[in-house]
A and B are shown apart, each in its own frame.
Chain A
Amino acid sequence: MENEMAEKTALCEAASLAPGEMARFELDGEDPMLLINDEGEFRLIDDDCTHAIASLSEGRLEGQTIFCPLHGGSFNIRTGKACSLPCKQALRTYDVRVDDGTVYFLG
């Protein structure tokens, strides 16, 4: 039987990331991504800041806003949009799904 679901890649166990925690993943052929437990819902966004080369995984998460460690700009983790300068260009957001306690990247 054909699997009609989009290709999915397992990232981690859902229980391994508590609300407010985040983890960086670098999959083959993909730019690095940041998985965030946003009050129980998982968000997956670009890990690379769009302003300069910096890993948002080393930044600070405050509610729905992630602050880049390099120059202090910020993004909304739900929409990917830049919230404060020097960030302007939005981050890409990716679809995730939790199946049987595992978080999957739907790519």
Chain B
Amino acid sequence: MFRATLHFQDGAALTLPVADGETVVEAALNAELPLRSDCMSGSCGSCIARCTAGEVSRVAMDQPIVDADEIAAGIYPTCLTRLRSDAHFELDYPLTPQPSPVGRQRGRLVRIDRLAATISRLIIEVEDPDNFQFQPGQYLRLRPPGLKVARAYSIASAPNALPMIELLIRHVPGGQVSGWLDSDAATAGAKLTLQGPLGGFALDDRAERSVFIVGGTGLAPALSMIRASGGKRPMLLCFGCSRREDLFLEDELRHLAATTTGLEVRIALMEGASGSVASGTAVALLAPEDIAGASHHLCGPPAMVDAARTVLRAAGIAPGHIRAERFAIGG
């Protein structure tokens, strides 16, 4: 039996006993401590923490969600981590304010807007908002009526918009939720099942300025953090999409920049850029002075996140100052 101490972003710390053979997440579930978790198999990223002291044993993965540099820095899913001694773990979210415990909710589809050829925005009213207090950056699972499966989507709205929540969904050929979105059943009033709030992706408020480098629907968690921040700290949003027909919310983002103190928005397209939209990747929108001294938040398809991370690391940013929410391609 060893002890794991969890160190939260706001300086709080909790200690829990971890039995032999038990993973850190299992121990936290048994002790009912607020260590975030979801898939229990290392593939969702919710339970990732950085081990700063102690001996641990890690279950290897064929396709780790963290890269070799992160593993070398002690960053790994805690659902795949067991202790060989007392150990300390650093988490990328504060202890307080604590989001509601993960639970099941009913939601009602209020509105659905097709923002681009492959992007829909859903506004959903949650039935019991008091039990759905989420932290900006978190996600939920959505099951439309008639489906047996649920899919994960980051919440794009701020907590103060509850009971309304906003989701940005990318249409995936052959996808089950995509099929529902294209059907007649996806109309106002549709009853949805939700599970959440989930995940440990949170704003790093320790640096001077917060930078968001996002691709496609990876915009969602960044938008939640930007909206919730309400102009209280300097922020830079670098938003990239593939082609002109994939670009969405451009007007809304420009308006947000114009009306939010300290917020700068830059937009890039891989193809078809013109005017105020630059050509290239989201990470290429960064100037050298934007990189040092900032906290970086990456979100989007894995290849986009990996490429952005490579650029930041080459510029000397340590793994601890880069947070990533990695989207899997759904279906």
Show the binding face of A for B, using Cβ within 8 Å.
48, 50, 52-55, 58, 71-72, 85-86, 88
Contact = CB atoms under 8 A, between A and B. Distances in A.
Interface stretch (B2-10, B38-46, B120-128, B305-313): B38-46
B195 interface: yes
B143 A53 contact: yes
Interface in B22-47: 25-26, 29-30, 37-41
A100 B227 CA distance: 61
A58 B148 contact: yes
A1 B25 CA distance: 58
Interface of B: 25-26, 29-30, 37-41, 104, 141, 143, 148-150, 193, 195
Given A85-B29, A86-B29, A53 B38 contact: no
A55 B149 CA distance: 8
Contact of A86 (B40, B150, B193): B40
Given A53-B143, A54-B150, A86-B25, 10 more contacts: A48-B193, A52-B195, A53-B104, A53-B150, A53-B193, A53-B195, A58-B148, A85-B26, A85-B30, A85-B40
A75 B25 CA distance: 19
Contacts of A58: 148
Contacts of A48: 104, 193
B195 A71 contact: no
A71 B39 contact: yes
Contacts of B149: 53
Contacts of B41: 71
B26 A55 contact: no
Nearest to B140: A53
A86 B47 CA distance: 13
Contacts of A72: 40
A48 B141 CA distance: 13
